[in-house]
Each structure stands twice: as structure tokens, then as C-alpha cells.
Amino acid sequence: MPDIFSTQELPDGFNYPDGFLRAVESGLVGLEPWWLLEGRDLRTRMEGLRERFPDRRLVPFSRREDNDDVACWDLDSDTVRVIHDFAAPGRENRGEYASFYDWLRAALEDFIEHE
């Protein structure tokens, strides 16, 4: 299993959705241009998002390799948001999905188009 946040590291009241855990356990973690954040990269990105967007409660899980987009759970809206990291606060939103599976469908489309 990849090195993702443990239950103790996740914000209070948040657990990874079953669909995300299923995708990770299945090895569905590298859909070029999207890649699973794990280990030090995951923890560094979480810390950076907290510093850059202190008014947001975001839990990152994937990064796009060809720009600064990061897929995150937005704990305030209970959605998946694509955040353009390093953008000025208020200009970071690049997309919103109702669920992880909705984001995953879009990531598959990105995979097909990225060829």
C-alpha cells in the first residue's frame, strides 16, 4: 500500500472515501498526467497548502505533472477540488467534483487526452 495519510494524520472527522482506498489498493495511482501524492511529497504538499491557503481545509491526494494543479478533498464543501497551487488566494480553484469517482472519471479523460 502506498504511503498515504494514516487515520491519525487525517483531520478530525475525515476518513478517506472507500472508492479512493479501493483505487489505491488496486494500483490505480498513476493516471498520467495525474499521480498519487504519497510519502514526503504528500506531507509537504499538505503543509504548503495550509500555509498558502490558511482559510481552506484541504486534504491533497493527487498532483498533475504538467502544472501546479492538486486534487484535494475540500472539507468545507465536502467535494473534491482541483486547486492551482501557488496561485494567489481566491484564484486557486480550477475545478470541483461532487465525489472522488467524479474526479477519477475526469482524470481518466485527462489520461486519454495526454497521450
Q: Is the C-alpha dihedral spanning 50, 24, 68, 81 positive or negative? A: negative
- Rounded to two decimals, the pTM is 0.94
pLDDT the model gives residue 115:
77
Compute and round to an integer the Cα radius of gyration of the chain: 13
Helix (H) or strand (E) holding 71: strand 69-74
pLDDT tens sequence for the chain (115 residues): 799 999 999 999 999 999 999 999 998 888 999 999 999 999 999 999 999 999 999 999 999 999 999 999 999 999 999 999 999 999 999 999 999 999 999 999 999 998 7
